Amino acid sequence: MTTEELSSPPGSPSADFESLKQVNAYGAEYWSARDLQPLMGYDQWRRFQQAIKRAMASCEESGNQPLNHFAGAGKPITGGKGAVQVVDDFHLSRFACYLIAINGDPRKPEIALAQQYFIVQARRQEITDQLAADKERLEIRKQTAEEFKALSGAAQQAGVHGRMFGIFHDAGYKGLYGGIGNEQIKRRKGIAEKENLLDRMNATELAANQFRMTQTRDKLAREGVHTEQQAIRTHEEVGREVRDAIRRIGGTLPENIPPAEHIKKVEKRLKQAKPKLKLDKRDARGLKGEEGSAAE
């Protein structure tokens, strides 16, 4: 992040933060925690220390070295009668300031401003391929659930009622899966009878089914379908069209895609996941700076 990128109008929150920045012997930028304390809305040093400790723990959990970003220091304070007292302080890297901001009291408007300013580090966040795949699959699963509800509403408008809803939805599977319906697909893939088939689909298979549902819903409305049998035929036809498209582009036909782990396990893993923040080499060194690496 260059100086030009960080330039801000005088008197703005960004300018206030930037005016407190200092440079250490290694040529690395840092902020004094004591200087930041009032700017982040903390009246008591003890409270601010708690936020710093949470940030240090977050730094370690994110895969970075706290010692590179949080350095204990003393700060001389001049009293009312001119007496100088040295109080505890921390020298903080830009990344440390960012972590303090996101671990601070969210009720404080000053914290919100600090988050906006130090968010420059968030762009360097990299999540593992597994985490990215989990997030993608969970999002598509949620979208598919919404699309299923919307398609059911469209089917009702087209004249589908009662027990025929099961036949209507199965028709879409039969078109897409080469003539086999929901229960047959589960048996083929070794999925328990009581499980929701959609919960065991990977992102690719979910996307194909979501597309099938979306296109069927649009086709029912566009063609003014108003009978059960016509709605069922329409759904199966759209499923076949999607299947043909997959075949034409050389994709794996859905019945041949192995079952994925249950979506609830994915959701649980995402809730427990601790994001890793990968910084570039210079920022990872934090307070040690570039010159610090040469001195080691």
State yes or no: pLDDT of 214 exceeds 60. yes
The pLDDT value recorded for residue 128 is 55
Q: How many alpha carbons lie under 13 Å from residue 55 in its C-beta half-sphere?
A: 27
Cα 288 from Cα 296, distance rounded (Å)? 10
The pLDDT value recorded for residue 119 is 59
Whether this prediction's pTM lies above 0.85 is answered by no
- Residue of 240, 221, 244 lying closest to 231 (CA atoms): 221
The pLDDT value recorded for residue 4 is 35
Q: Which two tokens stand for residue 284?
A: 């990872």
Residue range 58-98, pLDDT digits in tens: 888 878 889 999 999 887 777 666 667 788 999 999 889 88
Lowest mean pLDDT among 101-105, 237-241, 260-264, 289-293: 289-293
Q: Which two tokens stand for residue 161?
A: 């009622």
Q: What angle do CA 168, 172, 178 make, to 5 degrees?
A: 135
Cα 284 from Cα 67, distance rounded (Å)? 11
Confidence of residue 19 (pLDDT cuts 50, 70, 90): confident
DSSP H helices in 158-287: 164-176, 182-189, 203-222, 228-248, 263-272, 281-285
